[in-house]
Amino acid sequence: MTLAMPKSGEPPPVRPIADAPSRADRAFRRITTGAGLSVLALLIVIGFFLIFRSVPAFQVSGFGFFGTIRFDPATGVMGVLGLLYGTVVVAVIAVVVAVPLSILAALFITEYASGRMRGLLTGLVDLLAAIPSLLYGLWAFSFLGPYLTPVAEWMTGNLGWFPLFATEPDAVLFNSMFVAGLVVSLMVIPITTSVIREVFVQTPLGEKEAALALGSTRWGMVKTVVLPFGRGGIIGGAMLGLGRALGETIAVSLLLPQVPEITTHFLEFGGATISGFIANNAGATGIFLNGLMAAGLVLFVFTLATNFTASMIISRSRSGAGVDA
């Protein structure tokens, strides 16, 4: 068999390439598509269930449900504003504390630690993420809380001129949103560290070596190459940690009195979150249960909106676009 040679001056013949997926490829695609659609269907079912069970509460409270601080169905007053406020405050405190520590931990693991230490620290971080939140809550309630009280006293004594650290005279500085936020940050750190570390590892080696070859120090290389590349991972880890903090239940139910209120005195005794309030009143019935369902619906929508916003921000970043592609 001889191949036909192209005539002089003519381009070589183009062989068509057929990209026909195999049977295994088609089966794998159907499985992954079904898994993705199942997750979407599950979210839709949960959303409709919460809406259906929340209707009686909205019929009683109307739009005032979103602007009322108190939550007391016995008196006909139900509102989610105080619970939502406490949820956001605790989550923000947790993220503000956890994200800088997570970035530093991820940088040390990927850029400074030796090979053996890197594997050990990676395993320890993953192990911290597997500890149940109940253990964090019990440990904080019985051991860590008393040690944080002097810290709160020092902050209100030396930084009380700032409204966020001011307290009333003779205020109780235990079981506060500040303590709850610090404890939740301990549960957020492993998750954010793992996400940020995975993105830092993907930094192009050529760009790092080029920065060092041009005379940059290790910190200069990290500042000009690693951190800009990992911006999407940092945002993604922070938002994932925020979602974890917003939904934390057991620890905050043990550490907070679950009394809805709006206050700037974060160091004082008091506060409540949606998930913790629901957990403490899990045996409710009637309109009280409908009100809890409505509060859960608000948390559900708020968490979805947070994650959706994070995905939009990540997709516009360099590292996020690379991962999505």
Task: Identify the burial level of 35 via C-beta atoms within 10 angstroms of its C-beta, where 0-12 means exposed, 13-18 middle and 19 or more buried.
Answer: exposed
Other C-beta atoms closer than 10 Å to the C-beta of 310 total: 20
Residue 154 lies in a domain: yes
- What percent of the chain is modeled with pLDDT above 70? 91
Q: What is the pLDDT of residues 129-165, one digit of tens each?
A: 888 888 888 888 888 888 888 888 888 888 888 888 8
More confident residue, 320 or 93: 93
- Residue 49: is its pLDDT beyond 90? yes
pLDDT at position 20 over 80: no
Residue 219 resides in a domain:
yes
The answer as to whether 308 is a domain residue is yes
pLDDT over 70 at 193, yes or no: yes
If one compares 71 and 38, the residue with the highest pLDDT of the two is: 38
Domain for residue 16, yes or no?
no
Looking at residue 182, what is its pLDDT? 92
Residues 228-239 pLDDT 10s: 888 888 888 888
Residue 18 lies in a domain: no
Residue 100 pLDDT > 90: yes
Provide the domain count of the chain: 1
Q: What is the mean pLDDT of residues 78-83?
A: 90
The Cα-based distances of 229 to 64, 137, 166 in angstroms read 45, 36, 39
pLDDT recorded at residue 24? 84
Instruction: Report the Cα–Cα distance between both ends of the chain, in Å, rounded.
Output: 44
Q: Name the DSSP class of 160.
A: T
User: Using 50, 70 and 90 to split pLDDT, how confident is the model at 172?
Assistant: confident
Residue 60 lies in a domain: no
Q: pLDDT per residue over 246-286, tens digit each?
A: 888 888 988 888 888 888 888 888 888 999 899 888 877 88
Average pLDDT over all residues of the chain: 85
> Cβ contacts of residue 271 below 8 Å, gap of 6+?
86, 89, 90, 176, 177, 180, 256, 257, 259, 261, 263
pLDDT band at 325 (very low <50, low <70, confident <90, very high): very low
Residue 200 within a domain: yes
pTM, two decimal places: 0.84
Query: How does DSSP assign 79-130, residue by residue?
Result: -SHHHHHHHHHHHHHHHHHHHHHHHHHHHIIIIIS-HHHHHHHHHHHHHHHT
**What pLDDT is stored for residue 323 in this prediction?**
44
Question: What's the confidence (pLDDT) of residue 175?
Answer: 84
Q: Is residue 235, in this structure, part of any structural domain at all?
A: yes
The angle, 0 to 180 degrees and rounded to 10, between the axes of the packed helices 231-246 and 286-315 is: 180
Domain that holds residue 292: 85-324
Query: What CATH number is given to the structural domain containing 293?
Result: 1.10.3720.10
What would the mean pLDDT of 1-6 be, rounded to a whole number?
54
